[in-house]
Amino acid sequence: MRGPGVRFLSPACLWPLTFLKIRRSLMKKLLIAVCAVILTAGSVWADEVSQRKTAEELLVVMDVKGNVDRMLNDVVEMHEAQFDASGPDADPKLKEAFITELRNALSWEGVKEDYVKIYIAVFTEEEIRALINFYQSPIGQKLVSKQPELMEKSMELSQKRFMEIMPRLMSLMQEAMPEPEGVMPEGAMPATK
């Protein structure tokens, strides 16, 4: 017998209470998990912001903007010369539109975000900081100042090598091209009936 005021509860009567306890326990666990995800995401976001700022600092120290600006000016000059060489029939509006499009697409403002993404994808924040330290050193600054000259000489070398192999490439292309139908090979005699 049970004491006064205590009623016997069958297991069937207890299931709603058990369900509520389980539900409350699951809700607590879910709330803890959501908080952990939010805190982790905030930390990851802060790390990404820090790495982005570090990458931007590296690009400044390396004078990437200056290199991009020089390259853009070279490309614009080359295309302006091509337009000018095409003769008096060249449409000045087309030339201006073409140059404007080049400047918009290849300007530092147009490519900066791409450079930041590349450096973030390739290097860790620690590596970027080490690169900043290097590029801030006297030898690093020497490399930055000589970079345009190195690029120019590299381009000259590439162009020279390309011109050296151009005849061989043309020969290979001609060998690979099929003979057009109806054209007799050189030195062949027409068939007689």
Q: Over 60: is that where the pLDDT of 3 sits? A: no
Measured in whole angstroms, the distance separating CA 134 from the mean position of its chain's CA atoms is: 23
For the chain, give every domain's residue range: 19-136, 140-172
Angle at the Cα of 154 from the Cα atoms of 148 and 159, rounded to 5 degrees: 125
Query: Quick one: which of 101, 70, 98, 105 has its CA closest to 83?
Result: 98
User: What digits encode the pLDDT tens for the residues 26-50?
Assistant: 666 666 666 566 655 554 455 688 9
State the average pLDDT over residues 61-66.
94
Mean residue pLDDT across the chain? 80
Q: What pTM was estimated for this model as a whole? A: 0.58
Q: Residue 188 in 3-state DSSP?
A: coil
Rounded Cα distance, 70 and 107, in Å: 10
d(CA 51, CA 128): 8
**Whether the Cβ atoms of residue 96 and residue 83 lie closer than 8 Å to each other:** no
pLDDT of residue 120: 96
Tell me what pLDDT residue 184 has: 63
Tens of pLDDT along 77-123? 988 888 888 777 778 888 888 889 988 888 999 999 999 999 999 99
- Give 55's pLDDT tier (boundaries 50, 70, 90): very high
What mean pLDDT do residues 60-73 have?
A: 92
Question: Distances from the Cα of 116 to the Cαs of 32, 77, 120, 128, 192, in angstroms?
Answer: 35, 27, 6, 11, 72
**Beta-strand (E) ranges in the chain?**
none
**Banded pLDDT at 64 (limits 50, 70, 90):** very high
Top-ranked range on mean pLDDT: pick from 82-86, 138-142, 167-171: 138-142
